[in-house]
Amino acid sequence: MGYSLNKLKQELVTKGYADEGLVAWGNSAAGGLFGAIGAAFGPMHVVCKKGEALLVIPFTNKEILYSKGFAIQKQNIASAELKGLLSKKLVVKTKAGKKLEYPIMQGVSDLKTILQELGF
C-alpha cells in the first residue's frame, strides 16, 4: 500500500514523466526529523526532470496526480538549490520573482544530479 521511492520512479519513467529515473519526493506539511510521520498526513509531491524542466507532481498513497502537476522550464529558473542539514528543501527562485520551496525526504542524491544536469 502506498508509494515507495522505487515504485514512484518506475511509474514516472514508464509513463514518460522522468528522465533517467531520477526522482525525489517530499511532503509539504512535514519537516525536520518528523517528516516520515507527517508524510502519512500531508500533501506529498514528487520532483523529477523531463528534458530541460523540473516537474513537480503531487501524489497520494493511492495515485500520482498527473493532472495537478506542473513544469518549471530551465529558462524560467533564476536559481535552484538544495538547502538544509538534517531536513532538506529544494528552493527554486524563478526569473519572475517567485520563490518555491519543496521539502525533500527521499531521493536527495537524485535531486543533486538533476540540479547538476540542469546547470544549477
Domain count, the chain: 1
pLDDT of residue 69: 94
Instruction: Indicate which CATH number applies to the domain containing 18.
Output: 2.30.29.30
Q: Of 6, 5, 15, 14, give the one whose Cα is nearest residue 104.
A: 5
Q: Which strands sit side by side in the sheet containing 23-27, from one edge to the other?
A: 23-27, 44-50, 53-59, 70-73
Q: Of 118, 85, 87, 120, give the one whose Cα is nearest residue 102.
A: 87
Q: Range of 75's domain?
A: 5-117
Low-confidence ranges of the chain (pLDDT < 70): 1, 28-42
pLDDT of residue 39: 47
pLDDT of residue 14: 94
Residues linked to residue 81 through DSSP beta bridges, in sequence order: 91
